[in-house]
Copies of this chain bind each other. A is one copy, B any other.
Amino acid sequence: MSTVDIEVVLFDTFGTVVDWRTGVAAAVGEFAARHGLDLDGEEFADRWRARYQPSMEPVRTGERDFVSLDVLHEENLRAVLGEYGVDPGTIAPRELTWLNEAWHRLPPWPDSVPGLRRLREHVLIGPLSNGNLVLLARMAKHAGLPWDIVLGSDVTRAYKPRPEAYLRAAALLGLAPGRIMLAAAHNGDLHAARSAGLRTAFIPRPAEFGPGQTRDLEPESDWDLVASDIGELATHFTGRTWTADGHL
């Protein structure tokens, strides 16, 4: 496809831009060592992440008022600690917060920072994530992600794949959804983005869920673009240079 009409490229972040499994496992390892606990970091990360989608569901359906992902992450963390026989009430609050904010300190995939730097020469870029604004801003500062704009699910007050998550982002950007592309490693996210009118780019991340990953290894639809990483995605935009003077 031609990318000439695309003004903004937004990114799913967890899994697409940053490696949550490695980052969370490392934090769990440090936490376990400090507290004399026997925890498998990667298994812990997988269990914590397994609660991610279900925990957003009551907010999506309207059964629960909007709460930020930091809050859901902490509820899920307490539950996973319980699965391991650790009473979260015995852990100092600042230690729990530190572990919960592992999601603020995730490492980028090796191509993410150089790829985003190239891409931002051509278009506006930002996250379109279920993360909240502060989580995403601190993640970006920590990892060096050069976003132009950071939206946050607490700005749109909607969790993907609800259509409002995509449509409110487009409204804030002042753009028709078709001028915006979502880049994601998850086919489900791209299906929802396309239903909301956005353009779509698939970037496979076959190690996101660890060595046994079976899902999202291939594009499952005719997405507008498929790229092996963010650097390759950027090559589709090299025909023009971003300028604030773009309307003339």
Query: Which residues of A pack against B, CB within 8 Å?
Result: 68, 70, 94-95, 97-98, 101, 104-105, 120, 124, 126, 132-134, 137-142, 148-150, 152, 154-155, 172-174, 242-245, 247-248
Q: Once the chains bind, are A137 and B148 in contact (CB under 8 Å)?
A: yes
The copy count of this chain in the complex is 2
Q: Once the chains bind, are A248 and B94 in contact (CB under 8 Å)?
A: yes
Q: A68-B174, A105-B244 are in contact. List 19 more A-B contacts (CB 8 A).
A: A94-B248, A97-B247, A98-B248, A105-B245, A120-B141, A124-B137, A132-B174, A133-B149, A133-B173, A134-B149, A134-B173, A134-B174, A137-B148, A137-B149, A140-B148, A141-B148, A141-B242, A141-B244, A150-B150
- A243 and B141 alpha carbons, distance in the complex (Å): 9
Q: Once the chains bind, are A154 and B140 in contact (CB under 8 Å)?
A: no
- A82 and B137 alpha carbons, distance in the complex (Å): 43
Give 21 CB contacts A-B under 8 Å.
A70-B174, A98-B245, A98-B247, A98-B248, A105-B245, A120-B141, A124-B137, A124-B138, A124-B141, A126-B137, A133-B149, A133-B172, A134-B149, A134-B173, A137-B149, A138-B244, A140-B148, A142-B243, A149-B150, A150-B150, A152-B172
